[in-house]
Amino acid sequence: MTDIQHRFRVPHPLVLLTGCILLASMASYVLPAGEFERSIDEETGKIAVVAGTYEQVEQTPVNLFLAMVALPRGMVDAGGVIFLVFLIGGALTVVDETGALRRGISSLVHALKGRDLLIIAAISLFFATGGVVQNMQEEIIPLIPVVLIVTSRLGFTPLVAMAISAGAAFVGSAFSPINPFQVLIAQDAAGVAAASGWFFRVVFLLIALVFWIGMTMRYAIRTRVAPEIGRAEDPEDSLGWKDWVILLMLLCTFALMGFLARIGFNHMSGAFFIMGVLAGAVSGMGPSRIAQAYVNGFRQMAYAALLIGFARTIYVVLLDGRIIDTIVYGMFQPLESLPSLASALGMVVAQAAIHVPIPSVSSQAVLTMPVLIPLSDLLEISRQVTVLAYQYGAGLCDLVTPTNGALMAILAAGGVRYEDWIKFTVPLYLGLIALGGVAIAVGISINLQ
C-alpha cells in the first residue's frame, strides 16, 4: 500500500509547474496557431477581442530553450504581484516581531475558549470578504503564518488553516456580486450594467459560504489534535496601548486594500511597507532591526514568489506559441449546437478548462466574454447568465488548479501538500459547481438581467 501511495504522490510544486511549462511548449507544436482580432475601446482604453474574427496564423512553436528563457519573463510579468508578496511578508514580519499580533491572537483564543468553531467561522468570513471585495489571493500568502498560529492553538491541522483562508477567499471571489477583477470586468466586457444582478448573486454567495464553512468545521472536528495552548513560549502579557495601535494600523491597512486594489498592486505594496515601518517605530524597534525584519520576511516569501513566477510563465509560453486564442475557440465552438441550459452549463466547464492555461481571471474575462456574448445572444441566453458561467467556471477553478501560483504558494507557506488539499477540496469543489449549475438554471428560468 505504501508503494502505491508513493507511486501516485504529486511531485514538488516547482516540478509540477515546470512540467506544465513543458506541456505548453509541446502544445505549441501540436495545436494550430490562431488569433482573434483585437480592438481598443476609445472610452476605457481597454483592448477587447472582436468576436467572429478567429483565423489561423503562422505557427510559432516554442522550443525547450525558449520555454526556459520564458521563466524570467514570467517573473517580470508577475512583478507587481511578486513585490506585493515580498512587501506584505516583510511588513507582517515586523508586526510579528513586535509581539502585538501574537498577543492579540492569544487574547482572542482565550476569550473564545470553548467556542473554537466560532473562530473558524469568523476567520473564514474575513477572508471571504476579501475575496468578495477585491479578489484576495496573493495577499493571503504572508498571512498564512498568522492563521497557522491560530489553528495550532486550537488543535486544528494546517489544512484547516488553508480552508479558512485561501478556500474561503476563493469561494467569496467566485460568487461575489462586486469583485472588480471578476464579475465587474466580465459585466463590462459583456455590456451589462456594473454590479447588476447583485441580489441574485448575494443569495447564492451566502449559500456557498454556509456550505464551505460548514464542511470546513466538520473536517476540523474530525481531524482535531491536542491544542498547543499553554506552551512555555506563548505570550501571556495582556495587550498594551502600543499593541492596540499596531493592530489598528494593520486593520486599517487591510481595509484600504479594497480601494487600493482598483489602483494597482504597487499602491498596495507601498501602503504595507509604510505600515510595517510605522509598526516597528511604535513598538520601539530601531531602523536596523526593522530592516532586518524585512529581510527575514523577504526570505520567507522567496519560495512563494518563485511559484507565482513559474505559474505565470505557462501563460507566457502559450502566448508566444499563439495558441491561447485557439484553445478558447476550440472550447466554445461545440456549444453552438446545444440547447440553452446545456450550452450555459457547457460554458462553465469550458471556462474551468480554459482557466488551467490562463490562471488570470481578469485576462480570461477580457478574452472569453466577447466570444461568448454573440453565442449567448444567438441561443437567447441572458448575458448575465453568461457572466455567471464565467464566474463559477473560472473563479471556482482557482480552488484546484496547480497553475494558480497563489494557491501553490499558499499551500507551500502552510506546509500542506497539493494532493492532500485536492483530497479535501475536490468534493467541495464539485458541490459548489453543482450549486453554480442550479444558479444558472434559475437564472435562465427567470431571464436574469
Q: What is the pLDDT of residues 96-138, one digit of tens each?
A: 888 887 788 777 777 777 677 888 998 899 889 888 887 888 8
Q: Which residues contact 282 (CB under 8 A, 6 or more apart)?
A: 98, 242, 245, 246, 249
Give the mean pLDDT of the chain. Answer: 85
Burial of 186 (0-12, 13-18, 19+ CB in 10 A): buried
Residue 8 predicted with pLDDT over 70? no
Higher pLDDT, 295 or 39: 295
pLDDT at 3: 47
Instruction: Note the pLDDT of residue 232.
Output: 40
Angstrom CA distances, 294 to 254, 275, 287, 298, 304, stand at 18, 12, 11, 6, 16
Distance CA 316, CA 77 (A): 8
Higher pLDDT, 141 or 265: 141
In the predicted model, is pLDDT for residue 72 greater than 50?
yes
Cross-strand bridge partners of residue 40: 47
Angle, vertex CA 128, rays to CA 203 and CA 242, nearest 5: 140
Contact 176, 132 (CB under 8 A): yes
pLDDT average, residue stretch 356-381: 81
Which residues have CB under 8 Å from 108's CB, separation 6+? 119, 150
Average pLDDT over residues 402-426: 91
pLDDT number for residue 45: 61
pLDDT at 1 over 60: no
Is the pLDDT assigned to residue 2 strictly greater than 50?
Answer: no
Task: Find out whether 399 and 355 touch, Cβ atoms under 8 Å.
Answer: no
User: What torsion do the CA atoms of 428, 430, 436, 437 make, to the nearest 10 degrees?
Assistant: -150
pLDDT of residue 261: 66
Q: Would the pLDDT of 53 be above 80?
A: yes
pLDDT reading at 401 higher than 70: yes
- Whether the per-residue pLDDT at 237 is higher than 80: the answer is no
Amino acid found at 209: L
In this model, does residue 51 exceed pLDDT 60? yes
Cell 464539485 -> residue:
430
Predicted pLDDT of residue 258: 65
- With residues binned 3-state (H G I as helix, E B as strand, rest as coil), the percentages for the chain, rounded to 5, are 75, 0, 25
Note the pLDDT tens digit of each residue in 248-296.
Answer: 998 888 778 767 766 777 888 888 899 999 999 999 998 999 999 999 9
pLDDT at 42 exceeding the cut of 70? no
Question: Which pLDDT belongs to residue 235?
Answer: 45
Q: Write down the pLDDT at residue 410.
A: 92
pLDDT confidence of residue 255:
77
Q: Would you tell me how many other CB atoms lie within 10 Å of the CB of residue 331?
A: 19
pLDDT at 47 over 70: no
CA-nearest of 280, 305, 304 to 292 is 280
Show the CA angle centred on residue 348, arms to residues 342 and 39, nearest 5°: 110
Report, as an integer, the average pLDDT of 388-414. Answer: 91
pLDDT at 134: 76
Which of 425, 316, 402 is CA-nearest to residue 355?
402
pLDDT at 184: 84
Domain ranges of the chain: 13-54+322-445, 77-180+193-316
